[in-house]
């Protein structure tokens, strides 16, 4: 009983071999789709191996570093652009404001103050 699993294993494979020997046409009909699928999978695997071998991982690493750096720098780039646009708007308003008569309100921030506060962020 200790080696019963060996007897079961031998019985299954011997009975399978006897069935194949007695029914060769049915065996071919049953196994043909499996073999075709295996050949297709082998061809697909070969294509994948060729594709993976042709990948330049050095370029991928460099591209990942560039994307990571751009993602970290993005918020500061946005604030730099806002600062630039605020300076440009401030210059335009200052040029137009020299003709106005009313003094600026004391409780409102000027564009330069807003720009300075945004820089501090």
pLDDT at 107: 55
Helix 24-53 with 4-22: angle, nearest 10 deg: 110
| Cβ-based neighbours of 110, under 8 Å, separated by 6 or more | 90, 104
> 29-38, 51-60, 78-87, 105-114: lowest mean pLDDT where?
105-114
CB 110 within 8 A of CB 90: yes
Q: What is the pLDDT of residues 5-19, one digit of tens each?
A: 999 999 999 999 999
Asked whether the predicted pLDDT for residue 38 surpasses 60, the reply is yes
């Amino acid at each position: 009983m200790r080696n019963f699993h060996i007897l079961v294993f031998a019985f299954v494979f011997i009975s399978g071999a006897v069935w194949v020997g007695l029914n060769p046409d049915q065996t071919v009909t049953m196994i043909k789709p499996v073999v075709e699928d295996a050949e297709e999978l082998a061809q697909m695997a070969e294509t994948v191996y060729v594709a993976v071998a042709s990948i330049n991982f050095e370029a991928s690493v460099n591209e990942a570093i560039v994307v990571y750096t751009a993602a970290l720098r993005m918020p500061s780039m946005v604030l730099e652009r806002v600062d630039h646009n605020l300076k440009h708007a401030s210059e335009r308003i200052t040029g137009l404001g020299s003709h106005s008569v009313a003094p600026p309100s004391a409780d409102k921030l000027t564009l330069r103050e807003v720009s300075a506060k945004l820089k501090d962020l």
